[in-house]
Amino acid sequence: MSDAVLFDYSRYADLRNDDVALPENRYRYFKVLIEEVTQQEQSPYTELTRQYRGGQEPLQRTERTASRRRPLRIDRIACYENVVATLAQQAKPAAYPVQFDPSKDITENPKAKQTILEVRSRREPLTRFTLAAADKNFSRAVSVRVPVERGVATDWIEIGRATISTIRFHGFQRDSLAVDFAEQRSPRYRIVIDNRDNPPLAIESVTAEGNTYQAVFFAQPDGVYRAYYGAESAAAPDYDVSPLTATLAEGYRPLAATLGPQVANPALGTAPAPWLRKALASPWLLGGAIGLMVVVLALILFRAGRRIEDLSDDAPSEP
């Protein structure tokens, strides 16, 4: 009815499979047939025996390697089934493009035994990275980090961690290459792979997924609506969404609408260039301005002191 490969090497690595998937059926009785119920294990130690006569060269040398047979032990058998249920409203993920070049964006840190991947995005609401590697039969701990500026320094804060793996074992195949994290809109990401004493992985690509958002509202007949976006300093609104939530829960689906061509907003004005905004927010600019003010003030005080001295020298002395 169904075949599977059962194994458990969790003592040595993240490698285990004890499930047998069955097709949909209505049977009441099952027979489980297990082949190779015993496993032959060879000891890593070798027994060496030497025979001497009169302190001369050994007459005979014997090497023996011990092995043992371990029978399969089954503690219990549990059955489960898939059921269909209506879940609460959840976020709908979508694929987003990211910039990653394996020839340029991968660096090795031999001292820390880590592989570092640099990924760039356009501030999309990302929640997952999926790696593709040419290697097989591996398991690595992976963390995702984002930059946080603290004055003139930049720290990389961890936002997600997972174990990625690809297993190919006697017909058994399993791939787990995704790393999930809370929604982020960072333009830069750093994926750190802990290699320990294993060789680095040959990473081929990185793909990203994230949340999607929709503007749902009660529209008026023959109404004209506009969507404004692009303001970096706008605060998130706080609306009463209870009527919309109740309506959607009853099964009513909103009518999809498409946006027209994008046009500039003349009331917004001309925003400063990104480099100018960054320069104005730089602490170096503020420190330089303060230093310049101190120098100018010291020069003014110096000149004022010299003038007071000159006036004192020119003043007539009393008889």
pLDDT at 271: 55
- Burial of residue 248 (CB within 10 Å: 0-12, 13-18, 19+) is middle
Q: How far apart are CA 19 and CA 21, in angstroms?
A: 6
Instruction: Report the 10 Å Cβ neighbour count for 100.
Output: 23
**Partner residues linked to 307 by β-bridges:** none
DSSP 75: -
Q: How far apart are CA 17 and CA 7, in angstroms?
A: 5
pTM (predicted TM-score): 0.62
Q: How far apart are CA 144 and CA 157, in angstroms?
A: 8
Q: How far apart are CA 40 and CA 68, in angstroms?
A: 6
Q: Is 29 left (phi over 0), alpha (psi -120 to 50) or beta?
A: beta
pLDDT at 278: 62
- Burial of residue 191 (CB within 10 Å: 0-12, 13-18, 19+) is buried
| Per-residue tens of pLDDT for the chain, all 319 residues | 778 777 777 776 667 778 888 888 888 888 888 887 777 666 677 777 777 776 666 666 777 777 777 777 788 888 888 888 766 666 678 999 999 999 999 999 999 999 999 999 999 999 999 999 999 889 999 999 999 988 778 899 999 999 999 988 777 788 899 999 999 999 999 999 999 999 999 999 999 999 988 888 888 888 888 888 877 777 878 888 888 888 887 878 888 888 888 888 877 765 555 555 666 666 677 777 888 888 888 888 888 877 777 666 665 655 5
Go through the domains of the chain in sequence order and give each one's CATH number: 7-71 (no CATH), 93-211 (2.60.120.260)
DSSP 250: T
pLDDT at 264: 85
> Are the C-beta atoms of residues 189 and 119 closer than 8 Å to each other?
yes
pLDDT at 22: 87
pLDDT at 252: 81
